[in-house]
Structure 1
Amino acid sequence: MTITEIRSLDDPRVLAGLWALLEDSVNGGASVGFHPPLGAPANAAYWAGVAEQVKSGATVLLAAGNDDGELVGTVQLALCPKQNGPHRAEVQKLLVHSAHRRRGLGRRLLAAAEERARALGRTLLVLDTLEGREAVPLYLGAGWIEVGRIPGYTVEADGSRHATVVFYKPL
């Protein structure tokens, strides 16, 4: 498994891999901002936006590929553009394909994001995740500090509202 930075989403194979990864994650119940089933228009629009963010340098996109070159995981760093925030970034969309979960890949992607953040001079990371999901123990186990919960943060497809858990990690 190799983790690399994707600097452009112009390669159709890379884009197809990212589409498949997001679709697998959303349709498998991951809390990443979409309701299942994830349709092609929403998937395309999301990655088009990410492509622009990557191109502008506002977002760092890291991806894990297996020995066959298939994308099986990804994570993003949204770099704070504000004058008072050049030291911080937000970890977003940590995705691991369902066939590759429970093997430490999520932790490796998180560590790679932290390493890349350090290399960019970022000393504070933040993230949030849906309360009660498997990502909560992952972040705690990786040394992230829970700040608290925001009740009713997400609205699910059935209309129910759920809390998000907010974390930070000084680097």
Structure 2
Amino acid sequence: MKHRVSAPHRIDRLTAADFPDTVKSLAELLVDAVDDGASMGFLAPFDHETAVTWWQTQTPVVADGTLAVWVCHDTDGITGTVSLAFSQKPNGRHRAELLKLIVHREARGQGIARALLATAEAAATAAGVTLLLLDTRTGSPAEWVYSAEGWTRYGIVPAYAADPDGSLEDCSFFYKHLTTPTGS
């Protein structure tokens, strides 16, 4: 699936065959986000090798389709990513979790986060998903993006996750109901 952002950016879903060749670039994005203070599940210091290892552990779920990963890239390389984790619980097949929406610091302000979000939402809808969930640090720029794009905050959990420096931060939890394709 390709989705134009603003020339020369484009968004592609990674296949199982593409994924291993993209891991180093995804690791660079993740390191940039953690270095910028984003609560992505990792603590500082966070190096490229550790990020590569983490992304490599995602290979089996990308291969079996339970994790879908998109990248936004331009002529210089990958500028952003987003993932969807599809629920494997029998009573949760209608939902997925939005994960790792990351835009490199140097590429922000170009609509990439919104384009990645729209791409993931459209793919979820096409897959029959009717409910998306996510969490993000309360007060972060990401929280504003989700609210502006129609996501509903349903709660805040105090001291839910540590920032890269180890300090505990509140986390906001969001959901978004999607419509299913006609005929589903």
TM bin, normalised by shorter chain, reads: over 0.9
Identity level (%): 38
TM-score, normalised to structure 2, is: 0.87
TM-score, normalised to structure 1, is: 0.93
Partner of 1:118: 125
Partner of 2:116: 109
Q: Which residue identity lines up with residue 130 of structure 1 in the other structure?
A: R
Deviation (angstroms), 1:152: 1.2
Q: Which residue identity lines up with residue 29 of structure 2 in the other structure?
A: L
Q: Which has the higher contact order (CA 8 A, sep 6+)?
A: 2
Paired residues, what number? 168
Q: 1:16 to 1:88 in 2, by over 3 A?
A: same
**CA–CA distance in structure 2, aligned partners of residues 24 and 61 of structure 1:** 18
Partner of 1:16: 24
Q: 1:28 to 1:152 in 2, by over 3 A?
A: same
Deviation (angstroms), 1:24: 1.1
Pairing 1:21-60 to 2, within 5 Å after superposition: 21-60=29-68
Deviation (angstroms), 1:131: 0.9
Deviation (angstroms), 1:38: 1.4
Q: Which residue identity lines up with residue 83 of structure 1 in the other structure?
A: P
**CA–CA distance in structure 1, aligned partners of residues 45 and 165 of structure 2:** 13
**CA–CA distance in structure 1, aligned partners of residues 164 and 98 of structure 2:** 24
Partner of 2:97: 90
Runs of 4+ off more than 2 Å: 155-160
Moved more, 134-143 or 151-160: 151-160
The CA RMSD over aligned residues, in Å, is: 1.3
- 2:39 and 2:164 in contact (8 A); partners too: no
Moved more, 132-141 or 42-51: 42-51
Moved more, 124-133 or 43-52: 43-52
